[in-house]
Amino acid sequence: MSTATPPEPGALQPLLPSDPSVIAAYRLLGRLGAGGMGVVYLGRTANGELAAVKVTHADQADQPDFRARFRREVEAARRVSSPWAVPVTGADPDAPEPWMATAFVAGPSLGEAVTAHGALPERSVRLLGWAVARALAAVHAAGLVHRDVKPGNVLLAVDGPRLIDFGIARATGETALTATDMVVGTPGFLAPEQAEARTGAIGPPADVFALGCLLAYAATGRPPFGTGAVDALMYRTVHDEPDLTGVPEGLLDLVRACLAKDPAARPAAAAIGLRLVEDAPGDGAEWLPAPVVRTIAERSARMLALPEIDATEAPTAPAAPPAKSRRGFLLLAGGAVLAAGGGVTAWAALDGDGGGDGKKKTAPPKARRWTIGVQADLTGPGKDIGRAQERGVRLAVERFNARKGRPFTLDVKVSDDGGDRHRGLAAARALTGDPDVLGIIGPSSDYAGLVSLPAYDEARLPVITVSAGLNLLINPSAPQGLSVLRACSTHSYASMFLTYYVEAKTRTARPGLVQERTDDAYSWQCAVSAKFAFGQAGITVLPRVIPAGAKRLEEVLGELVDAGIDTYVHAGTAPSAVRAAKELDALGFTGTRVGGQHVFGSEFVEGAGKAAEGWIVGAPVVDPATRKQAAALMAAHRKAYGTAPAFYTGEAYDVTNLLVDQVVKAAKGGKRPDRTTLTAPLRAAKYEGVMGGYAFTEEGNLDGVSTFVYAVENGRYKPLEFAPAAPPKKAEGT
């Protein structure tokens, strides 16, 4: 079983009523993570040793070949003997729910550390590479290929890193259980032969290529082939040179050698260790920067504060106190031993009974709240959209609370992610970690939403977004986005539908298309879909790609106009669209000009001024003023906020009402519903809101609705109509 890396130990979740309390010799203390394949628990043996216990779902175990794959994973991990690879401490592939336990490492993954604290200094990178190279040498010596070396699969401990997750490891040359056209690995950290699914060519050099990507990432804070859509990442991996800007001079030659396109030109893992470092991580933490050490110390302290193991039998007599060993978790850093006291008392306080002696130390806990969560950008670049959605949620909750005979009263809890991908996961966990939150409206932005997925998937808490359109937010093949409902079109479909509209309303024959890579994933999805839609009509596009920051934009626009384009399609952000509008105006271009969701908004019309007039812009929202069904919402918004509702307010209002309706249905007899059961009925629901109808596919994407089209007129967005979800029919004889 290959699962996503578990969430950080600091986010340990309590066991659910359906969870076992014991797996073999491991008493389970909480959940480290969960996904479509199973659950990862934090377990502890009688002598106090901690382990990550991976347990598969029973329905997975019944699938053909599953046990063979799981058994192979266990055997692969056991065959690797290295101090830098996490060892297997127990397993049972033949259990009704197969499980495997590995030694638990309290430190963060490399990905978490770099995201939180930035790139590592050169010595840290050298020591990291030395240890991971030695682990890979042991993998290869065992006749295996890891095939998924990535930042999430390298954990950082005070005495050095640890390589984890052998879920897709294979014996060299083994292909029997892998489809020949299946891409295995993590885009951005896989070799060209993996990206092209050349199964027979995947061997130890593929791991070396991934190690090169890992070193570049650790040294610069970014993957060497960029980020964005999967197809774009794999294309760059196969055809483009890596971006190694910022890699220290002393590491450049080795990293370049690891990233050779030809597997035969890459060095062996054993040789890499010799080239990287003259010393090795010691017993202390001096090999890591101080902020990372503090993170490890905090997590280790939490492990020290875990409760002692309770008796698992019926409580007939007091059990003898278990051993209090915390072997492996006394953290030596800077000569000081980090310890944490009061573990049992602190843990008992989480249960709300105030003490562990059977006597209540505090007043009884207050009644549980029924809360709707909101994750949105309230202070960052998308704050207008985020605030509009927050207001929509609050108005829907106020409407419900004003009902006579309501079965309960609702609260709203808001978590601001600032539209920042580095804050998204923490903002999501502030909501998913609150047991009173029954569902979430949001996130309002793409990338904060994307990094929030581990929290959503772990909690299985329903999350409904009306504006995050990245394809990967819901990805059944991963799987990820297990509890997400997207009440808007993806950027890919929205761009395709908008192109169909342009084809139907104009006689374009020579469109120009600019893909601006400031927001690479969004612009790539828009550009590819627009080109595809034009191609369906037999129209050849003049495409151009410009770097982030819209460098060379004006020069490229001049080339396109000189080439005779009659339509301009902007696959990019609002700031570059402002520049494009002004430059096209200066060039005297009078053809159709088109932009997508990330152009739509006040920044474009205010920034471009008169040059914005006539632009056609698509967005996944309807103007509330055009909907008579939204009259009550309009009045309530004016009363509460003194203005008419902004775009996205109505959609957030609708999906909140949809969520509340399902909560009411699940709360029969006043019983509080299990929030983890709400996603399925939400995806099956058909709801008619004030802004229109909502229905979802089985995976959680919006079904049957395209994108709305606006024209800029007198400095405002004039509503036109929904873009068609199919290409226009050709007239006979054409």
Which positions are catalytic? 148
Instruction: Report residue 591 as tokens.
Output: 């053809």
User: Which residue type does 674 have?
Assistant: D
User: Which residue type does 73 have?
Assistant: E
Q: Under a CB-based contact definition with an 8 Å cutoff, are residues 110 and 218 in contact?
A: yes
Q: How many of the other CB atoms lie within 10 Å of CB of 4? A: 20
Instruction: Report residue 457 as tokens.
Output: 């998937």
Rounded CA-CA distance 251/533 in Å is 45
> Does the N-terminal peptide bond of residue 443 adopt cis geometry, omega within 30 degrees of 0?
yes
Q: What is the largest CA-CA distance in the chain?
A: 91
> Does the N-terminal peptide bond of residue 479 adopt cis geometry, omega within 30 degrees of 0?
yes
Q: To 10 degrees, the CA torsion angle through 419, 421, 422, 424?
A: 70
Instruction: Report residue 632 as tokens.
Output: 């009550």
DSSP structure class, residue 363:
P
Rounded CA-CA distance 647/639 in Å is 17
Angle at 64 (CA atoms; ends 178, 37), nearest 5 degrees: 80
Rounded CA-CA distance 433/450 in Å is 18
Q: How far is CA 237 from the centre of its chain?
A: 21
Rounded CA-CA distance 371/410 in Å is 6
The H or E element spanning position 636 is helix 631-641
Q: How many of the other CB atoms lie within 10 Å of CB of 629? A: 14
Helix axes 122-141, 204-220, angle to 10 degrees: 170
Q: Under a CB-based contact definition with an 8 Å cutoff, are residues 32 and 40 in contact?
A: yes
**The dihedral sign for the CA sequence 392, 395, 401, 404:** negative
Sequence-separated (6 or more) residues with CB below 8 Å from residue 352: 365
Rounded CA-CA distance 468/477 in Å is 19
By DSSP bridging, strand 50-56 and strand 144-145 are unpaired
Distances (CA, A) of 125 to 154, 273, 422, 497, 565: 13, 12, 22, 46, 49
The runs of H, that is alpha helices, within 43-183 are: 58-61, 66-79, 110-117, 122-141
Tokens 């000569």 correspond to what residue?
335
Distances (CA, A) of 384 to 418, 466, 575: 11, 14, 16
Instruction: Report residue 522 as tokens.
Output: 């969004």
Count of helix runs (H) and strand runs (E) in the chain: 23, 26
The runs of H, that is alpha helices, within 192-289 are: 192-195, 204-220, 230-239, 249-258, 269-276
The runs of H, that is alpha helices, within 83-191 are: 110-117, 122-141
Closest CA relative to residue 88, chosen from 108, 106, 71, 74: 74
Tokens 């009644």 correspond to what residue?
367
Q: Under a CB-based contact definition with an 8 Å cutoff, are residues 632 and 421 in contact?
A: no
Tokens 């490492």 correspond to what residue?
105
How many residues are listed for the chain in this entry?
734
DSSP structure class, residue 320:
P
Q: Under a CB-based contact definition with an 8 Å cutoff, are residues 207 and 140 in contact?
A: yes
